[in-house]
């Protein structure tokens, strides 16, 4: 049995979501901005234009191989993270509803982490949620391991908010969307701790709000 110890502050039964202006943030892009919309703090990444420059190491376009990441606070071992996410646009005229974004898990820094991403419009009917480990900043979505993995099938709105949650404990994590279980998987790089964060993929714009992070402790 586990208990959840709130890192985001709470008063009584009211949860105050993570205040991004009062915690340590590590990021690899200045496109991440904190704004206030409808009296709520919102993390935005917009203007994520597609960079078609070829990367010497992978031989692929740079924006096809690397993502944008923002990390929050201190390193944690086992934790639960809940956020509201909203697809805000995709800078590819051939696929205007494409794009992918989601969680960065147990990040060692902005180049080494694991990702669970969501594809509201670009993943196909049965490929809405996927997992990929990232090393040295390279996001290997072209590998056989990624292609053959069992992906998540869950309804994701293209033009509205949805609530995503990830529970990370030991060498496993579970993913939920709007309280619906999506899948459970084992992580690739068994690192005992790392920072929680948000990942945004190629040419994708996204909005994130209502971030909650809890430590999971065994009794």
Q: What is the CATH number of the domain that holds 25?
A: 2.60.120.560
Angle CA(38)–CA(208)–CA(13) in degrees, nearest 5?
70
pTM of structure: 0.85
A 10 A CB-CB count for 129 gives: 21
Q: Which domain holds residue 210?
A: 2-218
Tens digit of pLDDT for each residue in 65-104? 578 999 999 999 999 999 999 999 888 776 666 788 999 9
pLDDT at 18: 95
In the numeric block, which tokens belong to residue 148? 């053959």
pLDDT one-digit tens code per residue, 133-159: 787 777 656 555 556 666 788 888 988
Percent of the chain residues past pLDDT 70, beyond the cut: 75
Distance CA 96, CA 121 (A): 9
Q: Under a CB-based contact definition with an 8 Å cutoff, are residues 83 and 188 in contact?
A: no
Tally of domains within the chain: 1
Q: Is 146 helix (H, G, I), strand (E, B) or coil?
A: helix
The residue with greater pLDDT, 54 or 17, is 17
Inter-CA distances, 29 with 35, 40, 70, 71, 171, Å? 16, 22, 8, 11, 29
């Amino acid at each position: 049995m586990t208990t959840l110890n709130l890192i985001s502050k709470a008063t009584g039964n009211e949860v105050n979501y993570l205040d991004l202006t009062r915690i340590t943030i590590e990021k690899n892009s200045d496109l991440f901005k904190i704004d206030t919309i409808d009296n709520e703090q919102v993390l935005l990444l917009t203007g994520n234009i597609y960079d078609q420059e070829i990367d010497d190491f992978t031989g692929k376009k740079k924006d096809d191989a690397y993502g944008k990441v923002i990390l929050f606070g201190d390193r944690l071992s086992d934790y639960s993270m809940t956020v509201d996410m909203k697809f805000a646009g995709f800078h590819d005229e051939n696929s205007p509803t494409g794009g992918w974004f989601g969680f960065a898990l147990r990040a060692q820094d902005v180049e080494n982490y694991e990702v669970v991403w969501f594809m509201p419009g670009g993943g196909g009917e049965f490929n809405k949620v996927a997992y990929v480990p990232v090393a040295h900043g390279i996001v290997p979505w072209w590998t056989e391991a990624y292609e053959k993995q069992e992906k998540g099938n869950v309804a994701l709105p293209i033009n509205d908010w949805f609530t995503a949650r990830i529970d990370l404990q030991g060498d496993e994590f579970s993913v939920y969307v709007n309280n619906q279980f999506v899948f459970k998987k084992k992580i690739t790089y068994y690192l005992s701790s790392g920072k929680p964060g948000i990942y945004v993929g190629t040419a994708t714009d996204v909005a994130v709000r209502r971030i909650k992070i809890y430590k999971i402790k065994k009794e």
